[in-house]
Structure 1
Amino acid sequence: MPRYAPRYANDPSAVKSLVEAERVHRDVYTDPEVFDLEMEHLFANTWVYVGHASQIPNAGDYLTTEIGRQPILASRHTDGSVHVLYNRCPHKGTKIASEPCGNTGKFFRCPYHAWSFKTNGKLLAIPFKKGYEGTGLKESGAAEGLAPVGASHVYRDFIFARLAETGIEFETFFGDSLSSIDNMVDRSPEGRLVLEGAPLRYMHPCNWKMLVENQTDTCHPMVAHESSAGTAISVWEREEAKGGKKPMAVEVYAPFMAPYEFFEDMGLRVWPNGHGHTGVTTSIHADYSAIPGYFEAMSEAYGEERAKEILGENRHNTVYFPNIMVKGPIQTLRVFKPIAADRTLVESYTFRLAGAPDMLFERTLMYNRLINAPTSIVGHDDLEMYERAQLGLHADGQEWVNIQRLYEPGEEADVTALAGGTSEREMRNQFHAWAKFMTASMEEPAGERVHEAAE
């Protein structure tokens, strides 16, 4: 239950008042009413990640997920096209698919009354159909089959969807931020990623935005991870004197203990609509050991100069607003799924670079296991901080959360800009987008709302 009587619904000015230039009100993390409005407005009016086309390579393949609170189904049709649909039978509302993924064959069949649908969602058949003769079924919404989402788009095999029927277009929403996806895909000698294995799923007792903010928070690694990464490095330093090659795990851990100056110098970039990344000049992934045969394969595919250009771009974490992060150099993707105001499910996926040596995928798997798994070492440090923050925000001594680091009065929003690597500008950028997309559909008539908000 909300701590106060409802005060934000249908009041865009009240929602906007939660975000100021260099601080945000605690209600954005703690108030169930604000969370409900996010599910209704934010996740409907932005482009949200659904899945990867390599998860559904064959006709009849499907995957299920959620956008906000909406159950979603993505399927591969017989002509090879990908369709993003609401996972709901138009008859009685039963979920069509209950498994995370699978192959339905030539059609979907509702488990309740056996209505069947083509893999593009179109109605195929109804048992004992003569019972609907003369009822007007053909003119009803049910006759149209599984409802498609407002809009969907596949970009280099990454599937995105917008629930709202009208709104900001895909290219406008993402703009130049798509360069991070480009770089991750281009790291494959074949220009293709394959999502392999089930995701690591990890429940967090905190608001989803805390996890998104953390992806570009570079002032916490050397503090929060000292007990884990710091300890692992200390153990290695004692063993290093005995000789031997530095283990891959130590290469993964070591950059977490870099000083503030390293993270400041690596830089940060923001893009319009809440997107941004750390690691403009370098990153914690820049000094991994070379994998035998990889550069040769890249040079053969792209030419030596282009191969150097691709592999020389070592971005740290790229946040795609509202709720995913990709790591191009290590080929991982994390989805932050909101469950409640104080509960978030994190899914961490790994990709294989098609045509690249297996050792690269081994490093990706190791990174994901050591950093992002429920059984990880580093991830538990972050979990502890999120939980403490979620609890601490209920203290009445201070109602505002500060995001002022390296803030400059008059700082422009919705622009492409560079900042120091320890800046909190990307957090400010996210909250500007949050307020914009939260309130656009409250302020404008349907069909005009998000277009104007994006201008």
Structure 2
Amino acid sequence: MSISNEEIAGLVRSDSVHKRVYTDPELFQLEMDRIYGQAWIYVGHESQVKNPGDYHTTRIGDQDVIMTRGTDGKINVLYNRCPHKGAQLVAQGDGCAGKFFRCPYHAWTFKLDGSLLSVPLRNGMEGTTFDKSHPDFSMRPLARVDSYRGFVFASQSAEGPDLVTFLDGAASSIDNLCDRAPEGEVEVVGGVFQVMQLSNWKVFYENLHDTMHAPITHESSFMAARDEAQHLGEMPFELLIMDGNGEPYEFWEKLELRAYKNGHGYMEAIFDPAAATRDPVSRAHFESLAAVHGEEKARAILGMNRHNTVIYGSGSPHTVFQQFRVIRPISVNRTLIEIQTFRLKGAPDSVFDRALTYTNVINSPSSNVMPDDVELYRRCQEGNMTRGGEWVSHHRYAGTDKETPEGTVSVNGTSELPMRNQFAAWKQYMLSGNSAQSQE
């Protein structure tokens, strides 16, 4: 790579970034090494590999990986590569390998932890340097794998903070998502939506906490929801969740934005939790939690009012409506979004039904809301390819952020604190040499 650290440092200012961070293919390749080669990245949920031999394929940066459960019950994360000829061991998606992985090319087989099990016609290897126990002949595991309350993360780097330290305050959002289940556990149910967006991966992270865009970008959907509600004489849930984007600026200014280390953070939810407990679904949910924890703790759990949490490099869990939008970079101008929906174990079925409704209406490929965002992300990508200017502004309330022991807090809900925080983390990663590639 020909981009110097001095050049990288000059791309990020305290209140703006250079457009190259979204458009330069060379910078994108550096990100795959220095960010996705270092950070803890969400791989999947343990419920996606319930039984030994089950596997789930995904990507960490530009690397195809397999999450699988071993015969000992341990979760393994392996590069999706046969060490013989380099073929992918399994096709994209989920499945069950049985007791071992078998390469479809030459039938080399591997234990579920990736170690070599056997090769055909073993006598043909005798008298050579072939050593079955040598790691060169096994599937390579990622350097570190850990799970936080069933959410599996992996790092390609053997060095760096442990998972809990890395997650910092964002871990409390995962806690709240799980605590909303009377049994304290969640599981991925109902399949996974996928959306390919024609934009850089960082644009999605910025938009997750961009409160200024909602009443503008989503005007068509919330106005349609209001028109339909007027026609019906009521505002059912399907319309209410679209209508929320139409709140005036005064509403958004009052929301809290909080930023943590490593680019993480959250945005306060836009739906009133007290009002939500008056509907039958939320009331049944509350009663199921109160039966286990008592009313006071049930209120505290449901009262944690967060909309989008950012786990930088991984995606965004949504605690209230039980989903995780997983963000996977594909190229400098292509990003794959996976939407996972969770069932709260022990909660009424109606709670999961409501989560599915939210996923379909707001975040699915055929929703009334997501296409608005996807179109604007594309326009940002295209606009930054022109000669119309060099810098992207993050000036809103710059210099006013409040540092606290629990993270940095905005003084106004329309602040661009989250964007500044994300790019501070980006700069730190990009100037670090502790990457997976540098350790090989």
By the TM > 0.5 criterion, same fold?
A: yes
Shift of residue 59, structure 1, vs aligned partner: 0.8
**Measured at CA, do residues 77 and 442 of structure 1 come closer, stay the same or move farther in structure 2, by a change above 3 Å?**
closer
Q: SS of the residue aligned with 1:130?
A: helix
Shift of residue 239, structure 1, vs aligned partner: 2.7
Measured against aligned partners, the alpha-carbon deviations of 1:95-125 in whole angstroms (never above 9, x if no partner) come to: 1111411111101001111111111111111
**Measured at CA, do residues 21 and 414 of structure 1 come closer, stay the same or move farther in structure 2, by a change above 3 Å?**
farther
**Measured at CA, do residues 160 and 262 of structure 1 come closer, stay the same or move farther in structure 2, by a change above 3 Å?**
same
Mapped to 2, the partners of 1:392 and 1:234 lie a distance apart of 33
Q: Which residue of 1 aligns with 2:260?
A: 271
Shift of residue 329, structure 1, vs aligned partner: 0.5
Paired residue type of 1:171:
V
Measured against aligned partners, the alpha-carbon deviations of 1:42-84 in whole angstroms (never above 9, x if no partner) come to: 1111111100000110111001011111110010011111001
Matched, 1:96 2:85: no
Mapped to 2, the partners of 1:153 and 1:63 lie a distance apart of 16
Q: Which residue of 1 aligns with 2:187?
A: 194
Q: Which residue of 2 aligns with 1:28?
A: 21
Shift of residue 256, structure 1, vs aligned partner: 1.1
Q: Which residue of 2 aligns with 1:257?
A: 246
Matched, 1:59 2:40: no
**Measured at CA, do residues 104 and 164 of structure 1 come closer, stay the same or move farther in structure 2, by a change above 3 Å?**
same
The answer to whether the 8 Å contact 2:396/2:416 transfers is yes
Q: SS of the residue aligned with 1:213?
A: helix
Deviates more, 1:324-333 or 1:341-350: 341-350
**Measured at CA, do residues 184 and 12 of structure 1 come closer, stay the same or move farther in structure 2, by a change above 3 Å?**
same
Q: Which residue of 2 aligns with 1:453?
A: none
Q: Which residue of 2 aligns with 1:351?
A: 342
Q: Which residue of 1 aligns with 2:433?
A: 441
Paired residue type of 2:354:
R
Shift of residue 381, structure 1, vs aligned partner: 1.0
Mapped to 1, the partners of 2:402 and 2:35 lie a distance apart of 24
Mapped to 2, the partners of 1:88 and 1:443 lie a distance apart of 20
Paired residue type of 1:390:
Q
Shift of residue 412, structure 1, vs aligned partner: 6.6
The answer to whether the 8 Å contact 2:169/2:265 transfers is no
The answer to whether the 8 Å contact 2:225/2:240 transfers is no
Q: SS of the residue aligned with 1:367?
A: helix
Q: SS of the residue aligned with 2:305?
A: coil
Show the 5 A alignment for 1:223-234: 223-234=216-227
**Measured at CA, do residues 250 and 353 of structure 1 come closer, stay the same or move farther in structure 2, by a change above 3 Å?**
same
Mapped to 2, the partners of 1:122 and 1:326 lie a distance apart of 33
Paired residue type of 2:136:
A
Mapped to 1, the partners of 2:405 and 2:158 lie a distance apart of 23
Q: Which residue of 1 aligns with 2:322?
A: 331
Matched, 1:311 2:302: yes
Deviates more, 1:356-365 or 1:437-446: 437-446
| Cα-Cα RMSD | 2.1
Q: Which residue of 2 aligns with 1:111?
A: 104
**Measured at CA, do residues 110 and 166 of structure 1 come closer, stay the same or move farther in structure 2, by a change above 3 Å?**
same
1:298 aligned to which of 279, 289, 293: 289
Measured against aligned partners, the alpha-carbon deviations of 1:371-421 in whole angstroms (never above 9, x if no partner) come to: 112211111111121111111112323100001111117987998121122
Measured against aligned partners, the alpha-carbon deviations of 1:256-280 in whole angstroms (never above 9, x if no partner) come to: 111222222121111111000000x
Q: SS of the residue aligned with 2:191?
A: coil
Q: Which residue of 2 aligns with 1:152?
A: 145
1:393 aligned to which of 384, 390, 396: 384
Q: SS of the residue aligned with 1:83?
A: strand
Mapped to 2, the partners of 1:250 and 1:410 lie a distance apart of 35
Q: Which residue of 1 aligns with 2:117?
A: 124
Paired residue type of 1:357:
P
| Aligned positions, number | 433
The answer to whether the 8 Å contact 2:49/2:56 transfers is yes
Q: SS of the residue aligned with 1:43?
A: coil
**Measured at CA, do residues 99 and 32 of structure 1 come closer, stay the same or move farther in structure 2, by a change above 3 Å?**
closer
Mapped to 2, the partners of 1:229 and 1:405 lie a distance apart of 25
Shift of residue 340, structure 1, vs aligned partner: 1.3
Matched, 1:379 2:370: yes
Mapped to 1, the partners of 2:354 and 2:8 lie a distance apart of 43
Mapped to 2, the partners of 1:259 and 1:194 lie a distance apart of 36
The answer to whether the 8 Å contact 2:200/2:333 transfers is yes
Measured against aligned partners, the alpha-carbon deviations of 1:163-216 in whole angstroms (never above 9, x if no partner) come to: 123223212211222000000010000111010122111111111111111000
2:359 aligned to which of 325, 350, 368: 368
Mapped to 2, the partners of 1:414 and 1:208 lie a distance apart of 29
Q: Which residue of 1 aligns with 2:136?
A: 142
The answer to whether the 8 Å contact 1:213/1:427 transfers is yes
Matched, 1:246 2:238: no
Matched, 1:163 2:156: yes
Paired residue type of 2:20:
D
Q: Which residue of 2 aligns with 1:427?
A: 419
Q: Which residue of 1 aligns with 2:270?
A: 283
Paired residue type of 1:261:
E
Mapped to 1, the partners of 2:85 and 2:193 lie a distance apart of 33
Paired residue type of 1:101:
D
The answer to whether the 8 Å contact 2:38/2:435 transfers is no
Q: Identify unmatched segments of 5+ residues in structure 1.
A: 1-5, 448-455
Mapped to 1, the partners of 2:404 and 2:384 lie a distance apart of 26
